[in-house]
Amino acid sequence: MKTALTILLAFAALEPFSLSARADELADKGREISQTHCSRCHVIGDYNPFGGVSSTPSFQLVVNKLADWEERFSTFYTRRPHPAIIRIEGTPAPVDEPMVVPIEFKLEDVDAIVAFARTLKKQD
């Protein structure tokens, strides 16, 4: 019984590290997705400081200046102009097909992008 309790306590002590590692993995995945698919239009961290489209907000601007940034990132695929080019697995296709090849994401990819965006938030 004492051995089982010791093992249980050891796993409980490691849990915060495990959660932190999973959060880091999710943010890394989000960074990769963002750099691959979002950097055409958006400046993303130090990856492309002189890239993006001038009329498009940088990830840093959204994260650090808008109080509802997390909701915006979580629903970006529903906000113009994204529905024209983004498809989320399991959601219906639009009535009018886009003139470009759509980028296909899973909802987990959106979570990863949000996790990455969180890393861009300035510490107060």
Q: How confident is the model at residue 122 (pLDDT cuts 50, 70, 90)?
A: confident
For the chain, domains (ranges, CATH) are: 2-119 (1.10.760)
pLDDT at 20: 83
pLDDT at 4: 61
pLDDT at 44: 96
Task: Answer whether residue 71 shows pLDDT above 80.
Answer: yes
Q: What is the pTM of this model?
A: 0.74
Task: Answer whether residue 79 shows pLDDT above 80.
Answer: yes
Give the residue-averaged pLDDT of 43-58. Answer: 94
Q: What is the SS3 assignment for the chain?
A: CHHHHHHHHHHHHHHHHHHHHHHHHHHHHHHHHHHHHHCCCCCCCCCCCCCCCCCCCCHHHHHHHCCCHHHHHHCHHHCCCHHHCEEECCCCCCCCCCCCCCEEECHHHHHHHHHHHHHCCCCC
Q: How confident is the model at residue 102 (pLDDT cuts 50, 70, 90)?
A: confident
Higher pLDDT, 68 or 102: 68
**How confident is the model over 1-42, as pLDDT tens digits?**
566 656 555 556 655 556 788 899 999 999 999 999 999 999
Percent of the chain with pLDDT over 90: 65
Alpha-carbon distances, residue 28 vs 24, 36, 67, 101, 108 (angstroms): 6, 12, 23, 25, 13
